[in-house]
Amino acid sequence: MPTLPAKKIASSRSTASGSTSTPRVTSSSSARRSAITRASWSRASSWRTRTSRSPAAAASRSPSDRRLEPGDPVTDHFEILGIPRGFRVDERALETRYRELSRLFHPDRHAGRSAADRRAALEKMVQINEAYRTLREPVRRAAYLLSLRGLELGETDGSKFLPPDFLMEVMERREAFEEARSRGDRERVQALAQQARRERDEALEALASAFDRDDDKEAASQVSKLRYLDRFLADIRAWEDRVFEEENG
């Protein structure tokens, strides 16, 4: 039998053992990637969408393509949730994205990680919850969107954006409620509530139209009006609950 050259023997042995050497290379590469991932988790507690800086672009990707990674600080609620910035929001997409991120950063999912990693995930979960609470409610979403445009609205004082005739209606409506409440006139109170709800629906439509036109001043006026109407309706509900408890307590 002819003797193979030494180089060919070495090559043959290398080929024969290729199936055992490949896993060692893969394991080493995987270990390096794992180390990099752990290091990146420890470097930051703020996250961003990896696929794109544009919320619209991020929202157009499938959930499996959108991964939140440690990186530059992100405080934009729209970008945190990966949805397009604007007043008109796809509520179903918002809910779906919130559930995805809640599962991704749930504390139980990171129980086996380091303390720094658990803290980073918890801080991200706080960001996600705050973004969701803000964007799911139209009035809060509108006020937040205006703040991104440089128009800050106080939580309660928005009278400077309201027309004088509406302020007069506010006083008259409040007086009518106080009078009806003092008499225990439920029908009158319910009529006032029904009227306020109609005006609220109209104000929401006007608010959406104002954002469509980029009319921030009008949007601020509608936000202030909606805040008043919400407080008024909350006062009516509180009175009705109190009356119910007194009668059935």
pLDDT number for residue 157: 58
Q: Hey, is 162 helix, strand or coil? A: coil
pLDDT in tens, 138-147: 999 999 999 9
**CA gap 166, 153 in Å, rounded:** 18
pLDDT in tens, 19-71: 434 344 344 444 444 443 333 333 333 322 333 334 444 444 433 334 444 44
Residue of 138, 27, 135 lying closest to 81 (CA atoms): 135
The rounded mean pLDDT for the chain is 77
Interhelix angle 18-43/6-16, nearest 10 degrees: 60
Span 159-248: which CATH code? Answer: 1.20.1280.20
Is CATH 1.20.810.10 correct for 41-136? no
pLDDT in tens, 102-126: 999 888 888 888 888 888 888 899 9
Q: Give the other-Cβ count within 10 Å of 236's Cβ.
A: 19
pLDDT number for residue 119: 87
Q: Give the other-Cβ count within 10 Å of 89's Cβ.
A: 18
pLDDT in tens, 202-216: 999 999 999 999 999
**CA gap 135, 37 in Å, rounded:** 31
128 CB-contact burial (10 Å; exposed 0-12 / middle 13-18 / buried 19+)? buried
Instruction: Write 133-138 long-range contacts (CB < 8 A, 24+).
Output: 134/77, 135/77, 135/78, 135/81, 135/83, 135/89, 135/94, 136/91, 136/94, 136/95, 138/87, 138/204, 138/207, 138/226
Is 102:128 a contact under the CB 8 Å cutoff?
yes
Instruction: Say what the alpha-carbon torsion angle 208, 144, 56, 40 is, to the nearest 10 degrees.
Output: -170
Question: Could you tell me the CA-to-CA distances from 228 to 6, 8, 70, 102, 158 in Å, in that order?
Answer: 91, 88, 40, 33, 9
18 CB-contact burial (10 Å; exposed 0-12 / middle 13-18 / buried 19+)? exposed
* Rg, Å, the chain Cα set: 29
- For the chain, domain boundaries: 41-136, 159-248
46 CB-contact burial (10 Å; exposed 0-12 / middle 13-18 / buried 19+)? middle
